[in-house]
């Protein structure tokens, strides 16, 4: 007879450290942005990791990695409130001697959305920060460029990596020093990992991170202190399981490998895997020349607490088949043929005579949603009107830049064989 006492029951508990400690979410569902620090780490007294920087603002702190004087790798979820970067203990932004730079532009991975709605997997929690002024160091780390190089380094370093950051210490105290610690790498066949869907794009290591370490590097470190950047730290997870009636905790740090995202880096003009530091700086200058004004600065004074409203009037449906059914409005942010679904709302109760002679007003989300999408490279707002059977009646399509630049509303008319209506898009202050 088989002995069932040793059968383990795995609990899928993924806890992401965020502003709300203790909140638990499953890895395959909602992703809460965290600012995960180095527990029991050593202070970098020899300045061996001067490529590691602190991103900070009034309410937020993260870490990052300088890969050229004006280019920093970090997390996408770190880009909201961080305005400055430093690689020393110089956090006084008014001190002219401090190595501090303002962040001029944040480029987020387009598949990472840090507000509600669709999932925001850790796999896409990447961003590049372009700095206003250079932070020069003696040697910038190289980036692991392939699975072969990653596996080879993993073997050479006996399945260990070094994580570095400016996060809280083991007592959750704010520290001004850069800290580092060696950590074991776990593969997806390890005891705690094997019953979870661990993505090969993520690197799962021993939990050493804390609040403030998000965006910081995970290095392979050679004896001559040559650093190879393997991944970017993103989150804390607990791969807990139950065995013989006892719960066992498996705290882990998860980070994002970089080489699976080669195409994205190349598409935005930064080949961080092959270009030299000098070539990357040329790419920065070219990017700033072609994008002379950061959209965040351009619309810095916009009231991002406003809502985007859609007014529809004189609505007519010409199809008798679907006239009595609700109509869905599918709202998407698009660039060329690629679209990201933002949400869906409805016209409820289309009258039997297939018309709405009066106006209807819909709130279709905060302005910040659409400004965020614009900053990530999406060009168009598309609102498709669909029947419950999938019939497409018509589509509103407007350029984001058009209605961000205008202080007045946009009005137009949709008229085809299926439907007719007039619409107006405008921003408004939501009443409390």
Q: What is the pLDDT of residues 345-367, one digit of tens each?
A: 776 555 444 555 557 777 777 77
Could you tell me if residue 300 is inside a domain? no
* pLDDT tens digits along 134-146: 999 999 999 999 9
Read off the pLDDT of each residue in 47-71 and give the average, rounded to a whole number: 87
Please tell me whether residues 141 and 47 are part of one structural domain: yes
For residues 193 and 115, the model is more confident at 193
Nearby residues of 336 by Cβ (< 8 Å), 6 or more positions away: 379
The answer, yes or no, to whether residue 51 has pLDDT greater than 80, is yes
* pLDDT tens digits along 294-332: 544 444 344 456 778 887 777 776 655 555 556 778 888
* pLDDT tens digits along 216-263: 899 999 888 889 999 998 876 655 555 666 666 666 777 889 999 999
Name the pLDDT band for 11 (thresholds 50, 70, 90). Answer: very low
CATH assignment of the domain containing 36: 2.40.10.10
In total, how many domains does the chain have?
2
* pLDDT tens digits along 82-117: 678 887 765 555 555 568 888 888 888 888 865 443
Q: What is the pLDDT of residue 299?
A: 41
pTM: 0.58
Q: What is the pLDDT of residue 418?
A: 67
Q: What is the pLDDT of residue 219?
A: 93
Please tell me whether residues 21 and 104 are part of one structural domain: yes
Please tell me whether residues 63 and 208 are part of one structural domain: yes
Please tell me whether residues 279 and 364 are part of one structural domain: no
Q: Which domain holds residue 363?
A: 307-428
Please tell me whether residues 287 and 312 are part of one structural domain: no
Please tell me whether residues 273 and 343 are part of one structural domain: no
Domain boundary residue, one of 261, 292, 323: 292
Please tell me whether residues 65 and 129 are part of one structural domain: yes
Nearby residues of 84 by Cβ (< 8 Å), 6 or more positions away: 55, 56, 57, 93, 100, 101, 102, 103
Q: What is the pLDDT of residue 343?
A: 75
Residue the block writes with tokens 């004004």 = 293
CATH assignment of the domain containing 408: 2.60.40
Question: C-alpha angle 27/30/31, rounded to 5°?
Answer: 70
Residues 304 and 366 sit within 8 Å (Cβ to Cβ): yes
Domain boundary residue, one of 292, 315, 339: 292
Q: What is the pLDDT of residue 70?
A: 96
Nearby residues of 289 by Cβ (< 8 Å), 6 or more positions away: none
Read off the pLDDT of each residue in 359-380 and give the average, rounded to a whole number: 76
Q: Supply 133's token pair.
A: 């002024």
């Amino acid at each position: 007879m088989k002995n069932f006492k040793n059968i383990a029951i795995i609990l899928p508990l993924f806890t992401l450290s965020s502003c709300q400690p203790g909140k638990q979410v499953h890895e395959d569902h909602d992703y809460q942005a965290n600012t995960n620090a180095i527990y029991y780490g050593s202070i970098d007294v020899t300045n061996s990791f001067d490529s590691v920087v602190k991103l900070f603002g009034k309410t937020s702190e993260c870490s990052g990695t300088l890969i050229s004087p004006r280019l920093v790798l970090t997390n996408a979820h770190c880009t909201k409130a961080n305005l400055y970067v430093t690689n020393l203990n110089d956090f006084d932004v008014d001190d002219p001697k401090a190595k501090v730079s303002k962040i001029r532009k944040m480029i987020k991975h387009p598949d990472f959305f840090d507000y509600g709605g669709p999932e925001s997997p850790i796999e896409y929690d990447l961003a590049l920060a372009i700095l206003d002024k250079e932070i020069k160091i003696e040697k910038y780390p190289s980036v692991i460029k392939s699975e072969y190089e990653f596996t080879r380094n993993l073997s050479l370093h006996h399945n260990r990596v070094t994580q570095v950051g400016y996060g809280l210490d083991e007592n959750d105290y704010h520290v001004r020093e850069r800290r580092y610690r060696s950590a074991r790498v776990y593969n997806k066949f390890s005891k705690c990992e094997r019953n979870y869907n661990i993505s090969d794009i993520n690197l799962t290591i021993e939990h050493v991170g804390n609040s403030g370490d998000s965006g910081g590097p995970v290095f392979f470190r050679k004896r001559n202190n040559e650093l190879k950047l393997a991944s970017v730290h993103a989150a804390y997870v607990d791969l807990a399981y139950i065995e013989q009636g006892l719960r066992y905790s498996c705290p882990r740090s998860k980070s994002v490998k970089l080489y699976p995202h080669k195409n994205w880096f190349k598409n935005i003009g930064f080949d961080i895997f092959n270009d030299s530091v000098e070539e990357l700086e040329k790419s920065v200058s070219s990017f700033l020349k072609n994008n002379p004004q950061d959209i965040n600065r351009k619309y810095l004074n916009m009231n991002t607490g406003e809502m985007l409203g859609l007014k529809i009037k004189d609505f007519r449906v010409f199809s008798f088949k679907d006239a009595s059914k609700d109509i869905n409005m599918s709202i998407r942010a698009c660039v060329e043929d690629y679209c990201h679904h933002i949400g869906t709302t409805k016209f409820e109760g289309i009258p039997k005579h297939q018309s709405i002679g009066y106006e209807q007003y819909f709130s279709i989300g905060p302005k910040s949603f659409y400004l965020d999408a614009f900053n990530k490279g999406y060009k168009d707002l598309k609102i498709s009107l669909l029947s419950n059977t999938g019939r497409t009646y018509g589509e509103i399509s407007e350029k984001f830049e058009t209605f961000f630049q205008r202080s007045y509303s946009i009005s137009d008319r949709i008229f085809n064989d299926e439907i007719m209506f007039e619409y107006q898009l405008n921003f408004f202050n939501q009443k409390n």
